[in-house]
Amino acid sequence: MLQALSRGFFHTLARSTTLKKLASRYGLRRHDSFARRFIAGETVDEAIAAARAVERRGLQVTLDCLGESVATLDEATAATKVYLEVIARVAASDVGRNLSLKLTQLGLALDRATCTDNLRRILDAAQPRDFFIRVDMEGSQYTESTLALFERVWDLGYRNLGAVLQAYLRRSEDDLDRLVGLGARVRLVKGAYQEPRSIAYHKTSDVDAAFIRMMQALLERGVYPAIATHDDALIDETRRFAAERSVAPDRFEFQMLFGVRRDLQHRLAQHGYRCRIYIPFGREWFPYFMRRLGERPENVAFVMKAILRDRDAAS
Ligand SMILES: Cc1cc2nc3c(=O)[nH]c(=O)nc-3n(C[C@H](O)[C@H](O)[C@H](O)COP(=O)(O)OP(=O)(O)OC[C@H]3O[C@@H](n4cnc5c(N)ncnc54)[C@H](O)[C@@H]3O)c2cc1C
Protein backbone atom coordinates (compact mmCIF):
# COMPACT_ATOMS: atom_id res chain seq x y z
CA MET A 1 0.00 0.00 0.00
CA LEU A 2 2.77 2.36 0.99
CA GLN A 3 4.53 1.89 -2.32
CA ALA A 4 1.37 3.13 -4.01
CA LEU A 5 1.69 6.51 -2.32
CA SER A 6 3.27 8.50 -5.08
CA ARG A 7 5.70 11.36 -4.84
CA GLY A 8 2.91 13.50 -6.33
CA PHE A 9 0.69 12.83 -3.32
CA PHE A 10 3.34 14.23 -0.95
CA HIS A 11 4.00 17.18 -3.22
CA THR A 12 0.29 18.01 -3.14
CA LEU A 13 0.32 17.84 0.66
CA ALA A 14 3.49 19.95 0.73
CA ARG A 15 1.60 22.77 -1.00
CA SER A 16 -1.31 22.76 1.47
CA THR A 17 -1.14 26.01 3.40
CA THR A 18 -3.57 24.77 6.09
CA LEU A 19 -1.48 21.67 6.82
CA LYS A 20 1.66 23.77 6.72
CA LYS A 21 0.25 26.18 9.32
CA LEU A 22 -0.89 23.36 11.59
CA ALA A 23 2.38 21.51 11.27
CA SER A 24 4.45 24.61 11.90
CA ARG A 25 2.45 25.31 15.03
CA TYR A 26 2.56 21.84 16.58
CA GLY A 27 4.91 19.56 14.71
CA LEU A 28 8.31 20.03 16.32
CA ARG A 29 7.18 20.80 19.85
CA ARG A 30 7.78 17.27 21.08
CA HIS A 31 11.38 16.21 21.12
CA ASP A 32 10.43 12.74 19.96
CA SER A 33 8.22 13.92 17.06
CA PHE A 34 8.98 12.09 13.82
CA ALA A 35 9.78 15.32 11.97
CA ARG A 36 12.75 15.74 14.30
CA ARG A 37 14.43 12.83 12.63
CA PHE A 38 14.95 15.11 9.60
CA ILE A 39 14.85 18.61 11.10
CA ALA A 40 17.24 19.83 13.79
CA GLY A 41 14.67 22.07 15.53
CA GLU A 42 13.05 25.46 15.18
CA THR A 43 15.84 27.73 16.41
CA VAL A 44 19.37 28.56 15.33
CA ASP A 45 20.57 27.39 18.77
CA GLU A 46 19.13 23.95 18.11
CA ALA A 47 20.75 23.92 14.65
CA ILE A 48 24.14 24.87 16.08
CA ALA A 49 23.85 22.16 18.75
CA ALA A 50 22.98 19.60 16.06
CA ALA A 51 25.90 20.80 13.90
CA ARG A 52 28.27 20.42 16.84
CA ALA A 53 27.13 16.85 17.40
CA VAL A 54 27.55 16.05 13.69
CA GLU A 55 31.04 17.57 13.62
CA ARG A 56 32.02 15.52 16.66
CA ARG A 57 31.36 12.47 14.47
CA GLY A 58 34.04 13.63 12.02
CA LEU A 59 31.59 15.10 9.47
CA GLN A 60 31.10 18.61 8.07
CA VAL A 61 27.87 20.62 8.03
CA THR A 62 25.77 23.02 6.00
CA LEU A 63 22.87 24.74 7.76
CA ASP A 64 19.61 25.48 6.00
CA CYS A 65 17.11 27.86 7.56
CA LEU A 66 13.98 26.34 6.04
CA GLY A 67 11.61 28.41 3.95
CA GLU A 68 10.59 28.69 0.32
CA SER A 69 8.14 30.37 -2.01
CA VAL A 70 7.40 33.43 0.11
CA ALA A 71 4.21 35.27 -0.88
CA THR A 72 5.31 38.89 -0.39
CA LEU A 73 8.49 40.95 -0.70
CA ASP A 74 8.23 41.76 3.01
CA GLU A 75 8.50 38.05 3.76
CA ALA A 76 11.55 37.88 1.46
CA THR A 77 13.16 40.75 3.36
CA ALA A 78 12.34 39.03 6.65
CA ALA A 79 13.95 35.79 5.41
CA THR A 80 17.04 37.73 4.37
CA LYS A 81 17.28 39.25 7.85
CA VAL A 82 17.00 35.80 9.38
CA TYR A 83 19.94 34.64 7.25
CA LEU A 84 21.96 37.68 8.34
CA GLU A 85 21.26 36.75 11.96
CA VAL A 86 22.19 33.13 11.29
CA ILE A 87 25.51 34.28 9.81
CA ALA A 88 26.23 36.36 12.92
CA ARG A 89 25.25 33.54 15.27
CA VAL A 90 27.18 30.83 13.44
CA ALA A 91 30.23 33.12 13.15
CA ALA A 92 30.15 33.56 16.93
CA SER A 93 29.96 29.78 17.41
CA ASP A 94 32.51 27.06 16.76
CA VAL A 95 30.65 25.26 13.95
CA GLY A 96 31.44 25.22 10.22
CA ARG A 97 30.59 28.30 8.16
CA ASN A 98 28.50 26.85 5.39
CA LEU A 99 24.84 27.68 4.62
CA SER A 100 22.28 26.52 2.07
CA LEU A 101 19.33 28.63 0.94
CA LYS A 102 16.54 28.76 -1.61
CA LEU A 103 16.08 31.74 -3.91
CA THR A 104 12.26 31.61 -3.70
CA GLN A 105 12.79 32.29 0.02
CA LEU A 106 14.45 35.57 -1.03
CA GLY A 107 11.69 36.52 -3.48
CA LEU A 108 12.71 34.88 -6.78
CA ALA A 109 9.10 34.20 -7.78
CA LEU A 110 8.06 37.80 -7.05
CA ASP A 111 10.78 40.13 -8.24
CA ARG A 112 14.21 39.10 -9.50
CA ALA A 113 15.90 42.43 -8.79
CA THR A 114 14.83 42.31 -5.13
CA CYS A 115 15.88 38.67 -4.90
CA THR A 116 19.31 39.57 -6.32
CA ASP A 117 19.67 42.40 -3.79
CA ASN A 118 18.68 40.08 -0.96
CA LEU A 119 21.19 37.45 -2.04
CA ARG A 120 23.91 40.09 -2.34
CA ARG A 121 23.21 41.31 1.20
CA ILE A 122 23.70 37.77 2.43
CA LEU A 123 26.86 37.25 0.36
CA ASP A 124 28.27 40.60 1.54
CA ALA A 125 27.84 39.54 5.16
CA ALA A 126 29.12 36.02 4.45
CA GLN A 127 32.25 36.80 2.45
CA PRO A 128 34.38 38.60 5.06
CA ARG A 129 33.53 35.88 7.58
CA ASP A 130 34.57 33.06 5.23
CA PHE A 131 31.13 31.55 4.79
CA PHE A 132 30.23 29.47 1.77
CA ILE A 133 26.64 29.88 0.51
CA ARG A 134 25.00 27.10 -1.50
CA VAL A 135 22.02 28.08 -3.62
CA ASP A 136 19.69 25.05 -3.59
CA MET A 137 17.85 24.09 -6.77
CA GLU A 138 14.04 24.08 -6.67
CA GLY A 139 11.28 22.99 -9.08
CA SER A 140 11.92 23.31 -12.82
CA GLN A 141 9.94 26.56 -13.14
CA TYR A 142 12.89 28.15 -11.33
CA THR A 143 15.84 26.35 -12.93
CA GLU A 144 16.65 28.98 -15.55
CA SER A 145 15.99 31.97 -13.28
CA THR A 146 18.10 30.42 -10.50
CA LEU A 147 21.03 29.82 -12.85
CA ALA A 148 20.68 33.27 -14.47
CA LEU A 149 20.66 34.97 -11.07
CA PHE A 150 23.63 32.84 -9.99
CA GLU A 151 25.56 33.93 -13.12
CA ARG A 152 24.63 37.55 -12.49
CA VAL A 153 26.11 37.62 -8.98
CA TRP A 154 29.11 35.62 -10.19
CA ASP A 155 29.68 38.31 -12.84
CA LEU A 156 29.54 40.90 -10.07
CA GLY A 157 32.58 39.20 -8.56
CA TYR A 158 31.09 37.07 -5.77
CA ARG A 159 32.90 33.77 -5.37
CA ASN A 160 31.73 32.44 -2.01
CA LEU A 161 28.75 30.65 -3.54
CA GLY A 162 27.90 27.41 -5.31
CA ALA A 163 24.94 25.93 -7.19
CA VAL A 164 23.03 22.64 -7.39
CA LEU A 165 22.20 20.54 -10.45
CA GLN A 166 19.54 17.82 -10.59
CA ALA A 167 20.47 14.70 -12.57
CA TYR A 168 16.81 13.95 -13.41
CA LEU A 169 16.45 17.08 -15.57
CA ARG A 170 17.34 16.49 -19.20
CA ARG A 171 18.88 19.97 -19.45
CA SER A 172 21.30 19.52 -16.53
CA GLU A 173 24.27 18.19 -18.50
CA ASP A 174 24.29 21.42 -20.53
CA ASP A 175 23.92 23.42 -17.31
CA LEU A 176 26.90 21.55 -15.93
CA ASP A 177 29.07 22.87 -18.78
CA ARG A 178 27.75 26.35 -18.03
CA LEU A 179 28.69 26.21 -14.32
CA VAL A 180 31.98 24.38 -14.84
CA GLY A 181 32.83 27.05 -17.43
CA LEU A 182 32.46 29.69 -14.71
CA GLY A 183 34.57 27.71 -12.27
CA ALA A 184 31.66 27.49 -9.82
CA ARG A 185 31.25 24.71 -7.29
CA VAL A 186 28.38 22.31 -8.06
CA ARG A 187 26.39 20.00 -5.78
CA LEU A 188 25.00 17.09 -7.77
CA VAL A 189 21.66 15.57 -6.63
CA LYS A 190 19.10 13.26 -8.22
CA GLY A 191 16.30 15.85 -7.81
CA ALA A 192 13.45 16.02 -5.30
CA TYR A 193 10.50 17.58 -7.15
CA GLN A 194 7.77 16.18 -9.36
CA GLU A 195 8.61 16.99 -12.97
CA PRO A 196 6.95 16.06 -16.29
CA ARG A 197 8.46 13.39 -18.51
CA SER A 198 9.03 15.96 -21.28
CA ILE A 199 11.80 17.61 -19.26
CA ALA A 200 12.87 14.96 -16.74
CA TYR A 201 13.92 11.32 -16.72
CA HIS A 202 11.41 9.17 -14.88
CA LYS A 203 13.09 5.77 -15.05
CA THR A 204 15.44 5.15 -12.12
CA SER A 205 18.05 3.68 -14.47
CA ASP A 206 18.00 6.85 -16.64
CA VAL A 207 18.38 9.14 -13.60
CA ASP A 208 21.23 6.99 -12.27
CA ALA A 209 22.98 6.98 -15.67
CA ALA A 210 22.74 10.78 -15.90
CA PHE A 211 23.98 11.08 -12.32
CA ILE A 212 27.03 8.93 -13.15
CA ARG A 213 27.83 10.91 -16.32
CA MET A 214 27.57 14.19 -14.40
CA MET A 215 29.56 12.86 -11.43
CA GLN A 216 32.35 11.84 -13.81
CA ALA A 217 32.34 15.23 -15.58
CA LEU A 218 32.44 17.05 -12.23
CA LEU A 219 35.27 14.94 -10.82
CA GLU A 220 37.29 15.45 -14.00
CA ARG A 221 36.51 19.08 -14.80
CA GLY A 222 34.69 20.63 -11.84
CA VAL A 223 35.87 22.66 -8.85
CA TYR A 224 35.50 20.78 -5.57
CA PRO A 225 32.18 19.11 -6.48
CA ALA A 226 29.72 17.77 -3.91
CA ILE A 227 28.20 14.38 -4.69
CA ALA A 228 24.96 14.46 -2.70
CA THR A 229 23.26 11.08 -2.47
CA HIS A 230 22.53 8.23 -0.04
CA ASP A 231 22.52 5.69 -2.85
CA ASP A 232 25.15 3.01 -2.12
CA ALA A 233 25.63 2.14 -5.78
CA LEU A 234 26.26 5.77 -6.82
CA ILE A 235 28.61 6.34 -3.91
CA ASP A 236 30.56 3.18 -4.78
CA GLU A 237 30.73 4.29 -8.42
CA THR A 238 32.02 7.73 -7.35
CA ARG A 239 34.70 6.16 -5.16
CA ARG A 240 35.69 3.75 -7.94
CA PHE A 241 35.91 6.49 -10.57
CA ALA A 242 37.87 8.83 -8.28
CA ALA A 243 40.39 6.08 -7.50
CA GLU A 244 40.72 5.12 -11.19
CA ARG A 245 41.35 8.77 -12.22
CA SER A 246 43.55 9.54 -9.19
CA VAL A 247 41.16 12.21 -7.91
CA ALA A 248 42.27 12.61 -4.27
CA PRO A 249 39.55 12.38 -1.56
CA ASP A 250 40.15 16.03 -0.61
CA ARG A 251 39.20 17.25 -4.12
CA PHE A 252 35.49 16.51 -3.68
CA GLU A 253 32.99 15.75 -0.94
CA PHE A 254 29.95 13.60 -0.37
CA GLN A 255 26.86 15.22 1.08
CA MET A 256 23.88 13.69 2.86
CA LEU A 257 20.78 14.84 4.67
CA PHE A 258 20.45 15.09 8.43
CA GLY A 259 18.76 11.94 9.72
CA VAL A 260 19.32 9.82 6.60
CA ARG A 261 21.78 6.88 6.45
CA ARG A 262 23.92 7.78 9.46
CA ASP A 263 25.64 4.40 9.04
CA LEU A 264 26.83 5.39 5.59
CA GLN A 265 27.89 8.88 6.69
CA HIS A 266 30.03 7.32 9.40
CA ARG A 267 31.54 4.70 7.10
CA LEU A 268 32.62 7.30 4.52
CA ALA A 269 34.28 9.46 7.18
CA GLN A 270 36.06 6.39 8.55
CA HIS A 271 37.42 5.65 5.07
CA GLY A 272 38.88 9.15 4.85
CA TYR A 273 36.22 10.79 2.65
CA ARG A 274 34.76 14.18 3.36
CA CYS A 275 31.07 14.01 4.10
CA ARG A 276 28.95 17.10 4.73
CA ILE A 277 25.55 16.88 6.40
CA TYR A 278 22.72 19.19 5.36
CA ILE A 279 21.07 20.36 8.58
CA PRO A 280 17.65 22.00 8.12
CA PHE A 281 16.00 23.97 10.88
CA GLY A 282 13.29 26.58 11.40
CA ARG A 283 9.53 26.83 11.61
CA GLU A 284 8.87 26.48 7.87
CA TRP A 285 9.76 22.80 7.81
CA PHE A 286 6.60 21.25 6.39
CA PRO A 287 7.31 21.22 2.59
CA TYR A 288 10.85 19.93 3.22
CA PHE A 289 9.49 17.19 5.47
CA MET A 290 6.88 16.17 2.88
CA ARG A 291 9.58 15.83 0.20
CA ARG A 292 11.52 13.52 2.53
CA LEU A 293 8.39 11.38 3.05
CA GLY A 294 7.81 11.27 -0.69
CA GLU A 295 11.32 9.90 -1.27
CA ARG A 296 10.63 6.93 0.91
CA PRO A 297 6.97 6.06 1.50
CA GLU A 298 8.06 3.55 4.18
CA ASN A 299 8.63 6.65 6.33
CA VAL A 300 4.86 7.05 6.44
CA ALA A 301 4.65 3.88 8.53
CA PHE A 302 6.85 5.54 11.16
CA VAL A 303 4.72 8.68 11.08
CA MET A 304 1.53 6.65 11.50
CA LYS A 305 3.05 4.79 14.46
CA ALA A 306 4.09 8.09 16.05
CA ILE A 307 0.57 9.53 15.58
CA LEU A 308 -1.04 6.43 17.11
CA ARG A 309 1.44 6.52 19.99
CA ASP A 310 0.56 10.19 20.63
CA ARG A 311 -3.16 9.38 20.51
CA ASP A 312 -2.75 6.45 22.92
CA ALA A 313 -0.67 8.59 25.27
CA ALA A 314 -3.35 11.29 25.23
CA SER A 315 -6.28 8.91 25.87
C1 LIG B 1 22.96 17.37 0.84
C2 LIG B 1 21.77 17.26 -0.05
C3 LIG B 1 21.26 18.42 -0.63
C4 LIG B 1 20.17 18.35 -1.50
N5 LIG B 1 19.76 19.48 -2.16
C6 LIG B 1 18.79 19.38 -3.10
C7 LIG B 1 18.43 20.49 -3.91
O8 LIG B 1 18.97 21.59 -3.79
N9 LIG B 1 17.45 20.31 -4.83
C10 LIG B 1 16.82 19.09 -5.02
O11 LIG B 1 15.96 18.97 -5.89
N12 LIG B 1 17.14 18.03 -4.25
C13 LIG B 1 18.09 18.13 -3.31
N14 LIG B 1 18.43 17.03 -2.55
C15 LIG B 1 17.54 15.83 -2.57
C16 LIG B 1 17.87 14.88 -3.69
O17 LIG B 1 17.49 15.42 -4.93
C18 LIG B 1 17.15 13.53 -3.51
O19 LIG B 1 15.77 13.74 -3.52
C20 LIG B 1 17.48 12.81 -2.21
O21 LIG B 1 18.85 12.92 -1.91
C22 LIG B 1 17.15 11.31 -2.32
O23 LIG B 1 17.88 10.73 -3.37
P24 LIG B 1 19.15 9.76 -3.18
O25 LIG B 1 20.19 10.22 -4.14
O26 LIG B 1 19.58 9.72 -1.76
O27 LIG B 1 18.67 8.36 -3.71
P28 LIG B 1 17.38 7.44 -3.32
O29 LIG B 1 17.39 6.35 -4.33
O30 LIG B 1 16.19 8.28 -3.17
O31 LIG B 1 17.82 6.89 -1.91
C32 LIG B 1 18.88 5.96 -1.70
C33 LIG B 1 18.73 5.38 -0.29
O34 LIG B 1 18.88 6.43 0.67
C35 LIG B 1 17.96 6.30 1.73
N36 LIG B 1 17.04 7.45 1.70
C37 LIG B 1 16.94 8.40 0.73
N38 LIG B 1 16.03 9.34 1.07
C39 LIG B 1 15.53 8.97 2.26
C40 LIG B 1 14.56 9.51 3.13
N41 LIG B 1 13.92 10.64 2.83
N42 LIG B 1 14.30 8.86 4.30
C43 LIG B 1 14.95 7.73 4.63
N44 LIG B 1 15.89 7.15 3.85
C45 LIG B 1 16.18 7.76 2.67
C46 LIG B 1 17.26 4.99 1.50
O47 LIG B 1 17.98 3.98 2.16
C48 LIG B 1 17.34 4.81 0.00
O49 LIG B 1 17.25 3.48 -0.40
C50 LIG B 1 19.54 17.09 -1.72
C51 LIG B 1 20.07 15.93 -1.16
C52 LIG B 1 21.17 16.00 -0.34
C53 LIG B 1 21.74 14.73 0.21
Question: Has residue 93 got a pLDDT over 60?
Answer: yes
Which one from 187, 274, 283, 292 is the annotated catalytic residue? 187
Question: Has residue 129 got a pLDDT over 60?
Answer: yes
229 CA from centroid of ligand 1 (Å): 6
Q: Rounded to whole angstroms, how far apart are CA atoms 108 and 116?
A: 8
- Ligand 1 atom with minimal separation from the 193 CA: 11
What would the mean pLDDT of 12-39 be, rounded to a whole number?
A: 69
Worst-scoring range by mean pLDDT, 89-93, 116-120, 148-152, 296-300? Answer: 296-300
Give the model's pLDDT for residue 68: 84
Question: Has residue 314 got a pLDDT over 70?
Answer: no
Question: Has residue 313 got a pLDDT over 60?
Answer: no
What would the mean pLDDT of 174-179 be, rounded to a whole number?
A: 98
Worst-scoring range by mean pLDDT, 143-147, 220-224, 237-241, 291-295? Answer: 291-295
By alpha-carbon position, which residue is closest to atom 41 of ligand 1?
292
Q: Model-level pTM?
A: 0.92
By alpha-carbon position, which residue is closest to atom 24 of ligand 1?
229
Q: Choose between 24 and 246: higher pLDDT.
A: 246
Question: Has residue 166 got a pLDDT over 90?
Answer: yes
By alpha-carbon position, which residue is closest to atom 35 of ligand 1?
230
Ordered alpha helix ranges (H), 27-170: 44-56, 73-91, 112-126, 143-155
Q: Rounded to whole angstroms, how far apart are CA atoms 159 and 113?
A: 19
> To the nearest 10°, the Cα dihedral for 117, 123, 125, 131?
160
What would the mean pLDDT of 200-216 be, rounded to a whole number?
A: 98
Q: How far is CA 271 from CA 59, 79, 85, 249, in A?
A: 12, 38, 36, 10
Question: What is the pLDDT of the chain when averaged over all its residues?
Answer: 91
Which one from 36, 64, 136, 276 is the annotated catalytic residue? 136
- Ligand 1 atom with minimal separation from the 230 CA: 26
Give the model's pLDDT for residue 304: 67
Give the model's pLDDT for residue 294: 82
Q: Rounded to whole angstroms, how far apart are CA atoms 71 and 23?
A: 18
The response to whether residue 293 sits with its C-beta less than 6 Å from ligand 1 reads no
Greatest Cα pair distance, the chain, in angstroms, is 61
Give the model's pLDDT for residue 242: 98
The response to whether residue 303 sits with its C-beta less than 6 Å from ligand 1 reads no
291 CA from centroid of ligand 1 (Å): 9
Q: Tell me, yes or no, if 136 is annotated catalytic.
A: yes
Question: Has residue 315 got a pLDDT over 70?
Answer: no
